Amino acid sequence: DTGVSQDPRHKITKRGQNVTFRCDPISEHNRLYWYRQTLGQGPEFLTYFQNEAQLEKSRLLSDRFSAERPKGSFSTLEIQRTEQGDSAMYLCASSLGRGKISYEQYFGPGTRLTVT
Amino acid sequence: AQTVTQSQPEMSVQEAETVTLSCTYDTSESDYYLFWYKQPPSRQMILVIRQEAYKQQNATENRFSVNFQKAAKSFSLKISDSQLGDAAMYFCAYTTSGTYKYIFGTGTRLKVLA
């Protein structure tokens, strides 16, 4: 297992189009997180899953955003009717969810979204 | 609300020298965790070091160590014997027991001069 992977790495889309990103966590990790990072800023929390259950969503996650984690494995983040303000790096992270290191998150390389 | 502040947008250090990056946080919680992450250009974030709030001893990982001042809500990162490969954005992050989500600072860009 080589870590958290995300696909695609880059996405350019036109305003109003829908986009979907995929995250594959480290296989034994039961928690999965999505963050958004804009230029010059730290990542901001969007949502997180424990197994297949979505346990928390940020107010940043408008109705145009939806995330799923079917069967508690990979996760998808969909943005409908994209806006230029959605342009950002979308980061996925996972953590073990038990034991002393349960709070350590391991990050993927991110998906950079550009909305034109 | 919990916040994390990194007041140094950019720092420079000469190769082989020591540099300290600052981080302060605001919380009313007693059980929390603090982290430093490194984000090299166009590469993914890597955990550098972790500190549990209940531990009085400062964490160390090879050339990286922290100065954790709980009463002052300060969590600085010291990098000794700086190397060219240390050049990156460094983010301070906070989470509490049970919430799991991270709150990040705005980052400090570290430049290492040869």
Q: What is the secondary structure of B77-108 as a DSSP string?
A: EEE-S--GGG-EEEEEEEEETTT---EE---E
Instruction: Convert the pLDDT of each residue in B2-11 to its tens digit.
Output: 899 999 999 9
Q: Which of B86, B80, B90 is CA-nearest to residue B114? A: B86
Higher pLDDT, A92 or B1: A92
If one counts every other C-beta atom within 10 angstroms of the C-beta of residue A110, the result is 26
Distance from CA of B97 to the nearest CA of A (A): 8
A106 neighbourhood in chain B, CB within 8 Å: 47
Instruction: Convert the pLDDT of each residue in A17-73 to its tens digit.
Output: 999 999 999 998 999 999 999 988 999 999 999 999 999 999 888 899 999 999 889
CB contact under 8 A, B107 and A41: yes
Question: What band does B1 get if pLDDT is binned at 50, 70 and 90?
Answer: confident
> Is the model's pLDDT at A98 over the cut of 70?
no
Say how far apart CA B80 and CA A8 lie, in whole Å: 37
Which of B100, B104, B106, B109 to probe by mutation at the A interface, max A CB count within 10 Å?
B100
Distance from CA of B41 to the nearest CA of A (A): 11
Q: Radius of gyration of chain A from Cα atoms?
A: 14
> Is the model's pLDDT at B65 over the cut of 70?
yes
